[in-house]
């Protein structure tokens, strides 16, 4: 069993981004800019945005966070996004999810200029991904693909089970895998027999937010397991969606939680933002 070290790979990606930023500054006088909209007081969202801001500073980005109360109107959010769409210093716009219940998330995401949609959630970029055209891709699935590349894991012809069908993770993950010529099964909350699908898979990718969902008897010998889930337990510890202790001994590769996929999400956000900045040229 080999651990896939997301933390080390994320540092490697961030170092590459920092080098590209220096080149953009030196050769084109461009400083990549990322703007974040943060609504409400959700502690997890605030912690995540703080990590993003720190990462931006580390690689030399210009970054700004718009903190808004959870009582803010949808029209005010849209006006802020449109202002950033028209700001030449901003290359990437990120709306931290989830949004308050009175806000239409789909409507908000569609207001973002697709060329600044570094989270890859706009319908334009999702459509281009499905048709295997160049696009901005959701950061977590993109980070998983970077892991496969780093560890020389060939996806062609592999049976892959994606557990979870969200627009943020499951659907873009499945599209990326299909584009890499894997045979993909997508399972979700209405799947009748999850074990029947996971136990046949060469690779399992799970991200549903259910601690220990994937048990030892659901994984075949030598499988590769990518655990995107992150769950905080009552004792404060972080665990994934996989019963790591019992599953890991059966795997050829597995991601830990924490230290696996998580760091890659922010690294790929930085990578997407540099890509957007290069679009100015």
Phi, psi (degrees; rounded to nearest 5) at 244: -55, -45
pLDDT reading at 281 higher than 80: no
Tell me, yes or no, if 104 is annotated catalytic.
no
1-16 CB burial, b ≥16 within 10 A, e <16 = eeebbbeebbeebbee
**33 has which bridge partners?**
62
* Model confidence band, residue 135 (pLDDT cutoffs 50, 70, 90): very high
Tell me, yes or no, if 96 is annotated catalytic.
yes
Structural domains for the chain? 29-115 (3.40.50.10860), 139-262 (3.40.50.720)
Q: Please compute the mean of the pLDDT values over residues 1-29 and round it to a whole number.
A: 97
Question: What Cα–Cα distance (Å) separates residue 68 from each residue in 52, 76, 105, 158, 200?
Answer: 17, 10, 15, 45, 46
Of these residues, 5, 119, 202, 243, which one is catalytic? 119
Question: What Cα–Cα distance (Å) separates residue 139 from each residue in 91, 121, 206, 225?
Answer: 16, 10, 15, 19
**Residue-wise pLDDT tens digits, 76-122:** 999 999 999 999 999 999 999 999 999 999 999 999 999 999 999 99
pLDDT recorded at residue 157: 98
pLDDT recorded at residue 159: 98
The answer to whether 244 touches 233, Cβ cutoff 8 Å, is no
**Residue-wise pLDDT tens digits, 225-257:** 999 999 989 898 989 999 999 999 999 999 999
Of these residues, 5, 20, 52, 227, which one is catalytic? 52
The answer to whether 167 touches 126, Cβ cutoff 8 Å, is yes
Alpha carbons 98 and 136: distance in angstroms, whole number: 20
- From the centroid of its chain, how far is CA 37? 17
Taking each helix axis as running N to C, give the angle between helix 139-150 and helix 170-179, from 0 to 180 degrees, rounded to the nearest 10: 40
Of these residues, 14, 96, 146, 158, which one is catalytic? 96
**Residue-wise pLDDT tens digits, 35-74:** 999 999 888 888 889 999 999 999 999 999 999 999 999 9
Tell me, yes or no, if 119 is annotated catalytic.
yes
pLDDT recorded at residue 3: 96
Percent of the chain at pLDDT > 90 equals 94
């Amino acid at each position: 069993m080999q651990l896939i070290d997301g933390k080390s790979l994320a540092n490697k990606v961030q170092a590459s981004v920092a080098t590209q930023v220096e080149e953009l500054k030196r050769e084109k006088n461009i400083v990549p800019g990322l703007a974040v909209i943060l609504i409400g007081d959700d502690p997890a969202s605030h912690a995540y945005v703080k990590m993003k801001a720190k990462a931006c500073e580390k690689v030399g980005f210009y970054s700004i966070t718009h903190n808004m109360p959870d009582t803010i109107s949808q029209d005010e959010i849209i006006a802020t996004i449109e202002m950033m769409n028209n700001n030449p210093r901003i290359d990437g716009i990120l709306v931290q999810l989830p949004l308050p219940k009175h806000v239409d998330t789909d409507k908000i995401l569609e207001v973002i200029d697709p060329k600044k949609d570094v989270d890859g959630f706009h319908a334009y970029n999702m459509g281009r991904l499905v048709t295997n055209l160049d696009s901005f891709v959701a950061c977590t699935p993109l980070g998983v693909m970077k892991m496969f590349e780093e560890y020389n894991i060939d996806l062609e012809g592999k049976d892959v089970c994606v557990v979870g069908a969200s627009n943020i993770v499951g659907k873009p993950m499945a599209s990326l895998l299909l584009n890499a010529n894997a045979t993909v099964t997508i399972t979700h909350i209405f799947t009748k027999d999850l074990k029947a699908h996971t136990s046949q898979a060469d690779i399992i990718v799970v991200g549903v937010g259910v601690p220990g969902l994937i048990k030892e008897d659901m994984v075949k010998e030598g499988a590769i397991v990518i655990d995107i889930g992150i769950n905080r337990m009552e004792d404060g510890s972080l665990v994934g969606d996989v019963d790591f202790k019992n599953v890991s001994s059966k795997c050829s590769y597995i991601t830990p939680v924490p230290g696996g996929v998580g760091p890659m999400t922010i690294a790929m956000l930085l990578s997407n933002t540099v890509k957007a900045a290069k679009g100015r040229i």
